[in-house]
């Protein structure tokens, strides 16, 4: 088969007839049974449609190796798809939407589409506020220490001692990966004890304007809640960082699929 990612993709499409399948439009679907169903994995940015992806990902781990946030994992033997497929588990580590999308550029097979290597083309899924009653901004609860401490365990760039002592000083000779992950922790630290919590809206990496993807708004019955907006691309950073697991990402779905034309509503 050709080494050209585009030709490889066309080949797979012809072989499987997947070009006409694509995603099933699901306008207005938004309910507990849907959210609880074990849907497709969240794939790295630029992933081609799921069935094509399963044919194209050659399990080489190139995307994982270049990811400065250690967001990408490879399916293990107990996983949902065949061993070695690239995916993101956002509650453990979201994607932080790197400027140049090194994961896409590193992919040699076309599973991550090189024509989708900028923020306007990246669409991984859509966030939903699935547990509004748990939101600390709704209940007026300060962000507890454990919620911040938990994220230190998500990084591999700190030693066990540094994680324990929360040392995140950036040295001149730190590699870029360490700098980025320490900067993330330093930004998150500002939310320790915060009331009301604004972690999801403040830490959203959508650029240049995160308020196009998420914002805090008045909730019915008092307090605040995050509101998911049209530019959200399902990176999952808010899922990882939320202290109380209020937000989920539905992989492969769009804002229109989930919220329709009426937009997100607050509980």
Residue ranges binding ligand SF4 (CB under 6 A): 44-45, 67, 69, 71-72, 95-98, 101-103, 127, 135-137, 197-200, 204, 206, 213-214, 226, 228, 232-238, 242-244, 246-247, 249
Contact criterion met (CB below 8 Å) for 128 and 135: no
Nearest residue (CB) to ligand SF4, 55 versus 132? 132
CB burial of 100-137 (b: ≥16 within 10 Å; e: otherwise) equals ebbbbebbebbbbbeebbebeebbbbbbbbbbbebbbb
Give min distance, CB of 263 to ligand SF4, in A.
14
Nearest residue (CB) to ligand SF4, 157 versus 238? 238
Nearest residue (CB) to ligand SF4, 14 versus 211? 211
Give min distance, CB of 148 to ligand SF4, in A.
11
Give min distance, CB of 211 to ligand SF4, in A.
10
Nearest residue (CB) to ligand SF4, 5 versus 236? 236
Nearest residue (CB) to ligand SF4, 51 versus 91? 91
Residue labelled with tokens 């001692």: 161
Whole-angstrom distance, CA of residue 171 vs CA of residue 168:
9
Give min distance, CB of 69 to ligand SF4, in A.
4
Give min distance, CB of 161 to ligand SF4, in A.
26
Own/partner contacts of 49-55, CB < 8 Å, gap of 24 or more, are 49/18, 49/21, 49/22, 49/23, 49/252, 50/252, 51/16, 51/18, 51/21, 52/9, 52/12, 52/13, 52/16, 52/18, 52/111, 53/85, 53/111, 54/81, 54/82, 54/85, 55/12, 55/15, 55/16
Nearest residue (CB) to ligand SF4, 53 versus 96? 96
* Total residues found in the chain within this entry: 267
Give min distance, CB of 200 to ligand SF4, in A.
3
């Amino acid at each position: 088969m050709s080494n050209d990612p585009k030709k490889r993709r066309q080949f797979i499409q012809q072989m499987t007839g997947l070009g006409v399948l694509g995603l099933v439009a699901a306008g207005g679907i938004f309910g507990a049974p849907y959210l609880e169903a074990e849907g497709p994995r969240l794939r790295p940015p630029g992933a081609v449609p799921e069935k094509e992806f399963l044919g194209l990902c050659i399990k080489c781990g190139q995307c994982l190796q270049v990811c400065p946030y250690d967001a990408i994992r490879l399916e293990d033997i107990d996983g949902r798809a065949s061993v070695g497929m690239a995916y993101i588990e956002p509650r453990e580590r979201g994607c932080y939407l790197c400027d140049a999308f090194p994961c896409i550029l590193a992919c040699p097979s076309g599973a991550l589409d090189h024509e989708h290597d900028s923020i306007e083309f990246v669409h991984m899924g859509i966030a939903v506020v699935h547990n509004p009653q748990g939101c600390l901004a709704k209940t007026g609860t300060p962000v507890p220490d454990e919620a911040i401490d938990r994220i230190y365990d998500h990084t591999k760039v700190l030693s066990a001692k540094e994680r324990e002592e929360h040392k995140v000083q950036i040295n001149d000779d730190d590699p870029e990966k360490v700098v980025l992950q320490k900067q993330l922790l330093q930004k998150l630290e500002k939310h320790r004890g915060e009331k009301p919590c604004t972690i999801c809206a403040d830490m959203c990496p959508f650029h240049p304007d995160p308020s196009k993807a998420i914002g805090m708004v008045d909730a019915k019955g008092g307090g605040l809640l995050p509101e998911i907006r049209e530019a959200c691309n399902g990176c999952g950073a808010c899922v990882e960082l939320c202290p109380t697991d209020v937000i989920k990402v539905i992989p492969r779905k769009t804002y229109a699929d989930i919220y329709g034309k009426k937009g997100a509503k607050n509980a």
